[in-house]
Amino acid sequence: MTNILEVQNLVKNYGDFQAVKGVSFNIEEGEIFSLLGPNGAGKTTTISMLSTLYTPTSGDAVVGGHSVTKDPMAVRGVIGVVPQDLALYEDLTARENLIFWGQMYNLSGKSLNIRVDEVLEQIGLTDKAKNRVKTFSGGMKRRVNIGVGLLHKPRLLFMDEPTVGIDPQSRRAILDTVKDLNKQGMTLLYTTHYMEEAEELSNRVGIIDHGELIAIGTQKELTQQVGQAETLVLHVSENDDSEALAKSLKGIQGVQQAEAVDHEVSIVCAEAEDVLAAVVTKANERGIKIRSIDIREPNLEAVFLHLTGRALRD
């Protein structure tokens, strides 16, 4: 497999603040690569540099053989971008939006019309093509937003958190679209802070936090870093102090990590059964009512917790 993207020590500074700190990774042609990290980790800044929107402070990336710093216009012909926020003209119809953006990607005439029809069908909006985008639901707008990125059949598609803020049905449709595109041969760089999406879609995952790529590999390779650890998840009452409980649990023998997010306490341990009794006792001592308990096999959430000491949703 050849690399369609090679990122070399990419850095982005805003004054004294370093948003991206020397990120390096490759993406092979035909794979789905996810950048997984919490909000503010540097995912969007990284994609913005790779898509030539921002100029890197230092480092470079080669997309389809073209440098993002030396030949940005050539890079733009190779890539498609689906931005995190909707980037559409709401007073234009879905079809008019696609026609306009197709023209910006040098499509014209009959081939443009044919391609627009194909994309409308692909995103399931053929019957709504003549409706103005502002009349669409959030999910339908997201689909048009994705459709724009597909018009010119890019070799590498950047998708920046495309499922944020939409209903479960639309999210399912988008995830299925991503898988379909990959089956058709398109390479994707997908950013998300949803561990489940990265697990479902990706051939490989890069975990990014505070502007640094802290781990990279297949899901199996990454979970092996945690060892055979399991994650015990306690669901506590809304009125209880989950953070105080998490702190107290760290002292229990066998507990490797304990973090509270909202009303859940995640405990990383070698064997959940070994610590379960002590955990429940500790909760009772603090007067905390446990509503339910989940035992999870090693996953990317656990990897993130293991690597950073924080939950992914922090």
Smallest separation, CB 283 to another protein (Å)? 44
Per DSSP, the chain holds a count of helices (H) and strands (E) of 11, 14
Q: Is the distance from CB of 260 to CB of 243 less than 8 angstroms? A: yes
Q: Which amino acid, one-letter code, is at 148?
A: V
Secondary structure class of 249 (helix, strand, coil): helix
268 is a site residue for another protein (CB under 8 A): no
Smallest separation, CB 263 to another protein (Å)? 34
Picking from 14, 5, 87, the residue whose alpha carbon sits closest to that of residue 55 is: 14
> Is the Cβ of residue 15 or residue 287 nearer to another protein in the bound state?
15
86 is a site residue for another protein (CB under 8 A): yes
DSSP 134: G
Interface with another protein by CB under 8 A: which range of 102-110, 177-185, 212-220, 229-237? 102-110
Secondary structure class of 276 (helix, strand, coil): helix
Q: Which member of 5, 32, 37, 54 binds another protein (CB under 8 A)? A: 54
Q: Which member of 1, 2, 16, 106 binds another protein (CB under 8 A)? A: 106
Q: Which member of 100, 124, 228, 309 binds another protein (CB under 8 A)? A: 100
Secondary structure class of 307 (helix, strand, coil): helix
d(CA 51, CA 256): 39
Smallest separation, CB 25 to another protein (Å)? 20
Q: Copy the structure tokens of residue 158.
A: 């950047």
Q: Which member of 53, 164, 293, 307 binds another protein (CB under 8 A)? A: 53
> Contact positions toward another protein, by CB under 8 A?
14, 48, 51-55, 73, 76-77, 79, 81, 83, 85-89, 91-92, 96, 100-101, 103-106, 148
